[in-house]
Amino acid sequence: CGECGAPYTRRTFTDRKGAHYKAWNCRERQKGKKGKGCKNSAVREEILLAEIADAMQLEKFDMAAFDELVERVMIMPDEIQVQIKNNSNPMVVGTVSKTA
């Protein structure tokens, strides 16, 4: 998490119509009052994977390529940053879309 430093974890959310979807959300935010009170937004998985694929110059997300190329993904309050291995400058690849 670019806001508090905690890791993001994968969760299943339910939208207003009752449909389930996967999203990544700050671990401290999901702890609620017991956590650090992080306000960083969750990001829908399909948006996150598309932005990462774009940073890797791929048409769609590839886990093997991700493991080989990506050092770190930081979800900031208003953008997604992808740091490619052996490159100290993270790429800003997308704007975070709120999910809930």
pLDDT digits (tens), the chain, 100 positions = 998 999 999 999 999 999 999 999 999 887 766 666 788 888 999 999 998 888 888 899 999 999 988 888 999 888 888 888 876 666 665 555 544 4
In a domain, 85, yes or no: yes
Look at residue 15 and tell me if it is in a domain: yes
C-alpha 14/C-alpha 87 separation (Å) is 37
For residue 14, the enclosing domain spans 8-94
Please state whether 16 falls in left (phi above 0), alpha (psi between -120 and 50) or beta: alpha
What pLDDT was estimated at residue 92? 61
Answer whether residue 99 is part of any domain. Answer: no
Question: Is pTM beyond 0.75 here?
Answer: yes
Answer yes or no: is 2 within a domain: no
If one counts the domains in the chain, the total is: 1
The pLDDT value recorded for residue 13 is 92
* 45 part of a folded domain: yes
